[in-house]
Structures are given as structure tokens and as C-alpha cells.
Structure 1
Amino acid sequence: MRIGIIGAGIGGLTAAILLERLGHSVEVLEKRHVLKQEGVGLGIGENAIHALERYDIAADIKRDGNILIEAQLRDANDTYLNRVIFNKAGEDNITIQRSSLHNILRYHYKGNVRLIKEVVKITDFDAGIIKTTDGTSNQYDLVIAADGLHSQVRRQMFPGSEAKYQGYTCFRGTSVNPGLNDKTALEYWDARGRFGIVPLRDNEVYWFLCINALERDTEFRNYNLKKLKRYFEEFPHAVTNVLDNTVGEPLHHDIYDIEPLKTFVKGRVVLLGDAAHAATPNMGQGASQAIEDAVCLANQLEQYPLKEALANYDRLSVPHTKKVILKSRKIGKAAQSESRVFIRLRNALVKRMPEKLLNQQTDFLNKRKL
């Protein structure tokens, strides 16, 4: 088949690699002028690593990444609340620089990435015809829309499926030599905000902080590292130390998700990754779900004719990713609460919850059928 993939992000490139290896003619369309991945670190869950085990991509990710064992939850007084344990399914949970992952994927994809090719419209879903901003049209046997959170294709397929702001804004950065345990992630919860620290390899960490704010809040849009240090100066030493050792200025973006869709397929067009099921980052599953989508779609296309393969992909993906969206949203609402009464109750509950019970909340991530 001739396959067009819209978007050269993690999901799009993973799909391109796997489908190319199945013998399909694959073309990736990317709206950016330069194929450079902006961002800091990210996590790749054991569910995604397991999905990639039959491919040499997993080995490269493990080589360039850091194995994470646990994530500890703490309050702003540095009191230990509980922890989430990784490697529960016998596979590694990896953290890696986004640019490193993108380089690995680009290395494994041997085909063409056509830059400055922004798709503005699917002119015929049943025929797989797309139109780009330069006025040209292309026809494919299958169109995979991996064009992200604000997907043009999704909004055309399902009017009203725009991304929805979730009430908080996020800053992210990279810190060097903070002297932390490289197997343990830390997350601090407080009414003033939430601060996460995630180890990478080579004594680096990526960090994120979430603060309740209006959408496109001008106050926080003008925040720099100096102001963030002042905002979090009363947080535990691990937080202030990470900020003190941050390289450059942090990235800033508001947090969105979408309402779960009932289907990812229309004619010869299929949604993948954030375009299909963008969730808040509270479960750290954005990259992992996109990778699983790509593996699932490739598996179905390897075994079944196109129409049946897309129906299977839909059946295996829609209910699972809906659960990720809703659970991630629920975690965010609880973690971002500014109510002192709720915070005391929440922290007491988390602290008293048996570790096994807390970890069962994410067991479903390792049970997606592909």
C-alpha cells in the first residue's frame, strides 16, 4: 500500500518505521521547516518498551535511556506519602531526552520526510486524498493522522473535538548534576503547585512544574527561571537545587486534553497518538500510547485487509485510551487542588493507602492488546 503519515513526531515516525518494514511505501508529511524535536525528557513506560521488543528500536532506547525504578510522592515539607513502582510487568521503564528518542526513530526510518508540508484538509476520506498548504493534493491507500494535540484532521473528522484547557499551566526544563538518585523520580504536591523531578542518564534530570492558572495567562507567560525560583523557594532542597542547576530558560505550555472519541477511523483515514486521544501528562503516557498505537496498527495491517485492520485497531484502541484520558484528568484534578482541607484528606489517604493498592491503579496500562 501507499501510506501517507501526517506528522513526524514519536507516533508518526514509529508507525513509519514499522509499516516500512512490512513492505509498504511510506511518506511522512511534516509542517515544520526543520525536523528538530523541541522539548526536554520524557518517559517511555514498560508497556511501550514491551510493545517494541520484537524490534531493534527497544534496544536502542534502552541504550540511550535511563531505567527508572520508582516515583515517590511527597508533600511540600518533604514528607514521604507513597510510591509508584515500575517494572511490574518484567520490562524496563525508561526515561530519555526527547531529542535522543527522535534521533533513534529518524535513524530507523529509511524513507522520506517531506518538510513544509502542512495538511489543511482531507478532501476525500473514502479515497484517501489530502490537500496541503502549497495547494497540492496527494492520494494514499491509507492516511495516518499523527498531527498532535491540535490535530487539523481530527477537527475535520469530528467538529467540536478541539483540545480543552484543564486549568493549569506547566513549565519544563533540564538540570545538570543535581546529585539525585538516578532510579527514583520525585513529585511534590502543594496548594501552590506541583513539582516533578525525573532522572535521565549522565546525571541529568528533567523537571516539570504545574501551577493553576487561566488559559494563556499573561502573568505566567512572562515567567522566567528567576521568577520560578522565587515562586518555589520554600519547597524542599531537591526542588531548589534542581532549579539552581537548570540549563537555559524553561519551556512553557498550558495543559490540555480532549474528550474521548468514539472512533479513530473514517474511510481510509485513521488517527494516531495525541491526535486520537490527547491526555494530560499526569500518567506520563503520551509517548507510550503513541508507540502502542503504531505497533497495534502495524500488527493489524500485517494480519488483515485494510478495512478489517482499521476496525480491529479501533476496537483495541478506543476503550483503552479513553481510560487513560479520564484517569489522567482525574489525577490532575486531585493533584492540582488548592483546598487545604482537601489536600490534608488527599495526602492522608495516599499515605495510608497500601502500596500494592496504589500501584494497581496503573496495572491496566500493561494489559492493552495489540
Structure 2
Amino acid sequence: MQLPARYDHVGSFLRPQYLLEARDKKAKGEIGAEALREVEDKAIAEIVKFQQDVGLKSITDGEFRRTYFHIDFLEQLGGVKTDIPVTVKKADGTEELAPPVIRVIDKVRHAKDIQRADFEYLKGQVAAGCTPKVTIPSPTMLHFRGGRAGISKTAYPELDPAFYDDVAKAYGDELKSLYDAGCRYVQMDDTNLAYLCDEKMREAARQRGDDPNELPHRYAGFINKVVAHKPEGMLLAMHLCRGNFKSTHAAAGNYEPVAEALLAEMNLDAFFLEYDDDRSGDFRPLRFLPKGKTVVLGLVTTKFGEMESKDELKRRIDEAARHAPLEQLALSPQCGFSSTVHGNNIAVEAQRQKLRLVIETAQEVWGS
């Protein structure tokens, strides 16, 4: 399965002010769910046009119906309980999002179609020649956040294989639901493998009773159980995120600790890797990329408005191509522009300019 183009994006966009105001009114009980959905529909139609006008070939709904990229999906799975994340003010005045509590309290199941209605609206807005893309959180989040302690021992006395099989089946049912609605491109967003590149996060995993060297390989098997349910003809990608709340990050570290499990063992079609600064290390981990898979290099930051130069981007693509074939690489921004409803500290016009930079650079490197 090939990406729609050599240039892509991760999915989320800055919310327009009128959408934020409508969400606030809904939270206060001043409008109902139906009225909010009408406002979301209008905003999504506009962001679809924005993406098409800028020249993108894969088109999302901007995640405009979500508050958080992960919780809004996971809490709709049967057997899962989530709590709203807490915003913490640090000593330097910046804010960070404390990890949400995600608990498995019963057998995990696909209780209902989660994204289908949203996808059907998106598909109706997307022009011919473009591909609507759905973004969902990675299933690994149901394990990594709490480890064994976060999963009911009554529902799952043993995790392997029952827990992993049930979650994979639930995800497979959602993928089938989307496929039946016409969806052919799904991206799973995964912070956990990126966090396992960071020694602080690796130590936290040890404290929960997990081996950070074994976890990436276990997660590869977990993801492959999902892939086994994937309908034929659907492109399934994964984005590794190091944290993207209000232009902050949560993790740093070279991809080396997870690279082999991620690239060589996971039966996915494409991998979106953040490489916007030196927190991500060098490109040597790309040597594990097998034939037939694509790595999308996230070289353009979505955290700040300063523009990268085409020459610098081309130099870094050349660097990456020393470790993986150029024809198996593509280009994108490092993350979404608004992984949560709050958005990054970047202007709407910079959002447009960054995407144009990605597209023009990719066309000059790989041809249009």
C-alpha cells in the first residue's frame, strides 16, 4: 500500500475561534450536541477546503470533533474508563498535560461504530483525487499508561493472549466499519513507543513492572494482531509522537531502542517519525526499514512558526537516505498542529506556510 503522495501530514489543525466558542457553550449546557455538530460540520468543510487548496492529497477532518486525540476515541470502547487529563503549570510558567488515566475495567469490546459517521461526513466533503484519512489512537495506550495495574484482573487474570486479542478484535471491528463506509487510509497515533526512547519514561515502565527492552517487541506483536484484522486494501500507518500539548514535548531520545521492533517487526504500511530537532537523534535507526514500507520524515516543526529552509530540509532528507532508500521516504510536519483542542502556539498562516513548504520540498526532491 502506497501513501497518496510523497508529502503528507499528521492530521490535526488549529480550531477556529467560533468552534471553540461553540464547544464552550456545549460544556455550559447552552447548546445541545446537535447544534455543536452543525458548527463542527461547518468548520470541517472549511478545513477540508484549506487542505485541498494548499495541495495536500490526504485529507482529515482536522480532528475538529475531538478535545483530545486519544481519550475521545478510547472512552468509546467497551470496557474502557478514562479520566480527563489535568493541565499542570511548571516552574518556568509553561503548561504541560499530565498523562490521562486510562483504565480497563471490563472485557474490551467494540461496543459501537466510533468514527464511521464522522468519516462519512468527511468523505462527502473531499474532492476527487484526494484521499480522506482517519486518525485514531494506538491500542498500546490501553496498556502503557497503567501497565498491569491499569487492567482489571477480574476481566483479565492474564494479559496474554486474552487482553491483546480482545483489543485487537475491537480495533479490527472499527477498521472494518470504516472500510465498509469507504475508508482506505487510517493512521494510528502512538506516544508510547516514542516514550520508550526516553530514559525517564523507560524507568517509569520499570517501576510499573515492565521491561522497556521487551515492551517494543510485545507491542509489535500487539499491533500485528490488529493488522491481522485489517481489511485488505486499507493503508494502515503509525505516527510516533513525543508530546505535542501547546507546543511542548514530553519525551526525547534516539529511536534506537524501538527501531527494530517498530520498523522491521510491525506489519504496517507507513511510519510517521518526528525528526524536527535533535531530540529525535540521528537517522541510523532507519536502517531497519524493510522493503515495501515507507517512513515519513517529520522534519518541519508544528510547535513554532519559524520557517525551515528548503535547503536544510533537502540536506536532512539526503542524510536519511544514507540509511533507508530515498524511494521509501516521504516528508511531513513533525506532528499535528493541535493534538488537543488547545492548539500549538503557532499562527494559522504559519500552518499554511509550513504545509506549502512540505509539499514544494517533496515535489522538488521526488518529483510531482
- Larger gyration radius, structure 1 or structure 2: 1
Bigger strand share: 1
TM-score, structure 2 as length reference? 0.28
